[in-house]
Amino acid sequence: MKSRVAVVDDDDLLRDTLVDYLSSQGFEVIGLESGDALRGAISKASPECVILDLVMPEEDGLSVLRWLRGVSQVPVIMLTSADGPA
């Protein structure tokens, strides 16, 4: 059985690149564009790992992480292109 990974990033190119790469490495990957999309996906099937963008336009990754910690202890890898402290 493949491990399920959720990639949450508002940047289509980066998200698609990660989804393609992780899929080629044998993971079952779902690409999501926002925290709201992650909420909907988790209600259907919980991932075993979340790769979460820190800087998103509607809701930042830290807000999404706070919500996620309230419902799950799934491991999270924070992804960011920030060039300084957040």
Using DSSP, state whether 65 is helix, strand or coil.
helix
State the Cα–Cα distance between residues 43 and 29, nearest whole angstrom.
16
Name the one residue in this structure whose structure tokens are 């809701």. 59
**76 — phi, psi (to 5°)?**
-130, 135
Q: What is the mean pLDDT of residues 39-67?
A: 93
| Average pLDDT of the chain to the nearest whole number | 92
- Tell me how many degrees the CA angle 3-82-47 measures, rounded to the nearest 5: 15
Task: Assess whether pLDDT exceeds 80 at residue 24.
Answer: yes
Is the pTM for the entire model greater than 0.95?
no
pLDDT for res 10: 94
Task: Assess whether pLDDT exceeds 90 at residue 41.
Answer: yes
Task: Assess whether pLDDT exceeds 80 at residue 84.
Answer: no
